[in-house]
Amino acid sequence: MVHDLSTVESASSLRFSESLTVNLGIQGPLTSSLLNSEEALLRALIAAGAQPVAPLDLAVRAALDFEALASRLDALEDLGFELERHPAFGIRLVGFPERLIPEEIGARLPRERTVGRSILIFTETTSTHDVAARLAAQGAKEGSVILAETQTAGRGRRGRVWASPAGKGVWFTVILRPHLPPSAASRITVMAGVAVARALRRTTGLPLHIKWPNDLLCRGRKLAGILTEIGLEEGRLAYALLGVGVNVNLVADDLPEDLRGCATSLKQEAGRAFSRATLAAEMLGEIEQGLVRLDDTGFPAVADEWIALDDTLGRQVSVAGPDGRRRGLAAGLDTDGALLLRLDEGRTERIHGGDVEVEKIRE
């Protein structure tokens, strides 16, 4: 679907994370970059774990002059990182800020990367999709990531509101510029479902499944959603906005009352809190790997993984879409990621989007 840029809010109304200064003027392109010395220092300290790093060694790893090391460490502490500095043993990272910091997410990603080459974090905005749409139209590079601590108008599919309380989840949009025909845009959602499920399963150990087309479930309740929107220019796919929302550390009272029976969070399911920066980096890393598998050669393997995680195929479903409601057997995915629905009368239709109800959600 084509994103309506008229819905994007004025850049002057956005409040940035204190850790980042960026030119978001509506006339200019995205100019920020987070491949800086703070990220390099964090990368070295995170890699060292509980072991202190000698100051000279740390300066070398971060490609810093030794004289500049102290001021860069001070900058990390200003961002909320807790450091132990021992004159004999070295420097150790012992605490992380609760808020999301671009440098921490970047430090958990590979140095050479496409996804996360630039990371913007807002204290508050209407929707990360709104910001991403404006930046994409201005020419932002593929892989630019926009996150928000809270969204005042977070969006799910079909215009639904996505509750995103401050500091409790991971809400982000990645700007993509895939070489795909518009008819194959559904592959992006399929790839993202696999990527997010893999990252969250590995990090949390929870039994997550995918409900077509874009929901992630745990024990039958939704804890994450994916929203893909595309922009077209002269009939070609100019960009895609891949939005991901994950309920991380929400408790029941953080959810709207009407959703408490069908929605959940990682914390509710696992009984413990999780690092949002770690989860964000894990998901972005999986999306990076998935991007190279969107073509005709790589996508069949992505589809196979999706089927292995799926909670829809092989079951009787009802799909509500723009043209009304269809009922039949969810029979498979086609080569572009559409759902193959075998109707009750025996005919098979390709379904690109809609609300799916299954007969029973497995535990």
CATH architecture of 312-358: Roll (2.30)
232-283 pLDDT per residue, tens: 998 899 999 999 999 999 998 888 887 788 899 999 999 999 999 999 999 9
List where CATH 3.30.930.10 sits in the chain: 5-31+111-308
CATH superfamily assigned to domain 5-31+111-308? Bira Bifunctional Protein; Domain 2 (3.30.930.10)
To the nearest whole percent, how much of the chain has pLDDT over 90?
62
- Using the predicted structure, report yes or no on whether residue 15 has a pLDDT greater than 50: no
153-169 pLDDT per residue, tens: 766 555 555 678 889 99
Q: Helix (H, G, I), strand (E, B), or coil: what is residue 102?
A: helix
Name which of 316, 290, 317 is nearest 305 in CA terms.
290
Q: If you average pLDDT over residues 331-349, what whole number do you get?
A: 88
30 contacts 118 by C-beta, under 8 angstroms: yes
pTM greater than the 0.95 cutoff: no
> Is 260 exposed, middle or buried, given 0-12, 13-18 or 19+ CB atoms closer than 10 A?
middle
Q: Which of 95-109, 145-159, 171-185, 268-282 is predicted least confidently?
A: 145-159
List where CATH 1.10.10.10 sits in the chain: 37-95
List where CATH 2.30.30.100 sits in the chain: 312-358
Q: Which residues are CB-contacts of 56 (< 8 A; sequence separation ≥ 6)?
A: 66
Q: Which CATH number fits domain 37-95: 3.40.50.620, 1.10.10.10, 3.30.2130.30, 3.20.20.450?
A: 1.10.10.10
